[in-house]
Chain A
Amino acid sequence: MTHENTPAFTRRDLLNMIGTAAGGGAMYQAMTSLGFAAESNFSGPPQLAGAKKGSSVLILGAGLAGMVAALELRNAGYKVTILEYNQRAGGRCWSIRGGDTFTELGGGVQHCSFAKGEYFNAGPWRIPYHHHAVLHYCRQLGVALEPFVQVNYNAWVHSSTAYGGKPQRYRHVQADFQGHVAELLGKATRQGSLDSVLTQEDKEKLLEGLRRWGALDSEFRYRESIATSAWRGYEIDPGGGLMPPAKPSKPLELGELLQSRLWRAIAAGQAYEFQSTMFQPVGGMDMIAKAFAKQVGNLIRYQARVTRIEQSERGVTVTFADEGRGGALQQEKADWCLCTIPLSILSQIDIQIGAEMQAAINAVPYGSSIKVGLQFKRRFWEEDEHIYGGITYTDLPISRISYPSTRYGASGPAVVLGAYVFDGPNSFEFGAMAPEERVRRAVEYGSQIHPQYAHEFDNGMSVAWYRVPGNHGCYGKWTDALRDQHYKALCQVDGRIALAGEHVSHIPAWQEGAILSSLDAIRRLHARATA
């Protein structure tokens, strides 16, 4: 608050400052600059009337982008074939269950021993309410959804260097940070520090707002009281009969709270892409992939590794190695081609397209991401700590722990997301480990937050996306500069070929981006095909 007397400090600045203090503003701005927070543009499935009889489309990749295109183009009358590298459909829309085996690049093999009904989403795991295209196809294809708990006020926020390494309840950090900020801002307001930007009437309204927002007392103070405990929780909860009366809890002291940096964790759920209500498919994210595959699975040719993509005025020819038959080279021809192969792989494939699109394909680095799924013998987070779904945040290398948003109170084993790390050094360091070492480390670090890990851990699985054979990376890691230079070229229909996938969207790493890019590409392919 050093700006209050500078002429540049406007009403808007003040509102921004409040937003930032609340946490959401800073987060949202950061997300927007990364292109992560763009809104969906879905307005219904594409209208593809008038397809020429017998015309064909070859789709490369049976992830969501490829399968949604197959569904719509097939329904529009095109003859559709999909070539897929894996032995399963879905791409990154992938859940791992007991009985599954996963062999990563480098040869590490993991056999999953999760209990029946348990799963771990190696890729996407949540769906914002405004990802209209994903939700549309869930509805159309009969994929049952349930709420995904993003924010859990009773989960932990943890720093290994604050509060002696003892995790703090999210609700304590959230209520206390908000309360202290409200008190400070109230003080500045009452002392006249904001007079240059606020009228007397503004100040009165602001103070009233701060009192409610921050649970301040009549003197605009944030203090230990039954009133503040109504926000942060009590030392002794209110009871019945002759039970002891409610006892207020003591707020965290401001200075220590600021220094702890735990406030970093309380903003995430306020960002547009993580706001309530979020969803997950009942039974695992790949229920979406399975639902698409039920519609278009008969069009998919599996274990096809694309090696060359050629086009002429008459059509497209794709050469691929049939990995199910010792890699014998084969060809598939079609009038048009929609290529959803990740750029990490497409940039290594001989493809006949213009120089600008080729430069765009070569320009985008792929992001790092690792996940570890841990099965425990019982739901100790629910039974011992009253944490039902949601996410614990930590500065340990595991970054976060997410508890299942389903089957609360069930007895028997359950799977937790024991590490989800992306972009920073820790994600690369996890990725450089053998799979069983990743699991071991996730258990070791997690036990600093949940001591029960030591006794309750059963088995685990880990996925490092650079080592996933069909992907070679997690997502197209655009920067503003790269987008300015290459994004438009990547989105063009080049002759008879168009690209789709999350990497051809402004919503990278989200399924919505994959589906929207695909719908947009096939609309333009269709326009060219019927011109």
Chain B
Amino acid sequence: MTMNARNIQYLASAITVLAAVAAQSAQAQSGTAATSVQPVFSVGPKFQQTTGEAIYRSLCQGCHMPQGEGAKGAGTYPSLARNNKLEAGGYAVYLVVNGQRGMPPFGEMMSDGQVAEVVNYVRTHFGNNFTDAVTAADVKQVRR
């Protein structure tokens, strides 16, 4: 792909976000909220973020919120923080790929590697400490 305006723009956004991520790490260390991290925009029908953190910030936190705390309205977005259901990595992979109830499936919009990245991110953040990382191969198995 040639370097075009959108790509440059995307890179610029990505750099901004990287800076924000760095700032957030500093903030996190000082114990303040991490809401300054803003998503980047993808070009086309698939998500383009590659790291677990970037995917979480650009997608998951829309419902599960910046600290993985979830939300309560007429219904509930489950908290991902200190969530024992995440112990089984395959469960989280299944949900991201296929969705559940109102949660849409993201399998078509993400590569195996991206799904693994974001699942590993969630399973090692927000008070979760499941260090048995899932792999792209694990994700491939979950896809039909």
Contacts and interface: CB of A to CB of B under 8 A. Distances in A.
A497 to B, nearest CB: 18
A46 interface: no
Nearest to B99: A365
Contacts, number: 114
Given A395-B6, A426-B41, A105 B77 contact: yes
A347 B104 contact: no
Nearest to A370: B62
Nearest to B101: A347
A348 B59 contact: no
Dominant SS at the A interface?
A: loop
B61 interface: yes
Interface string B42-71: 101111100000000111111101100001
A426 B42 contact: yes
A472 B76 CA distance: 8
Nearest to B60: A432
Interface string B89-104: 0000000000101111
Interface of A: 85, 105-106, 160-161, 165, 305-306, 341-345, 347-349, 362, 364-368, 395, 397, 424-426, 428-434, 437, 441, 464, 466-473, 477
Nearest to A105: B71
Contacts of B72: 105
B102 A473 contact: yes
- Of A106, A348, A365, most buried by chain B (CB within 10 Å of CB) is A106
Contacts of A366: 102-104
B113 interface: no
8 contacts: A345-B75, A395-B6, A425-B41, A464-B62, A467-B71, A469-B73, A470-B74, A472-B74
A425 B74 contact: no
B123 to A, nearest CB: 19
A166 B48 CA distance: 25
Looking at chain B, what size class is its interface with the partner chain? 35 or more
A367 B66 CA distance: 21
Interface of B: 4-6, 9, 35, 38-42, 44-48, 57-63, 65-66, 71-77, 99, 101-105, 109
Contacts of B44: 425
Contacts of A395: 6
Nearest to A164: B5
Contacts of B45: 424-425
B102 A365 contact: yes
A429 B40 contact: yes
A432 B39 contact: yes
B25 to A, nearest CB: 19
A468 B71 CA distance: 11
Contacts of A473: 102
A160 B42 contact: no
B32 to A, nearest CB: 15
A469 B57 CA distance: 20
B102 A428 contact: no
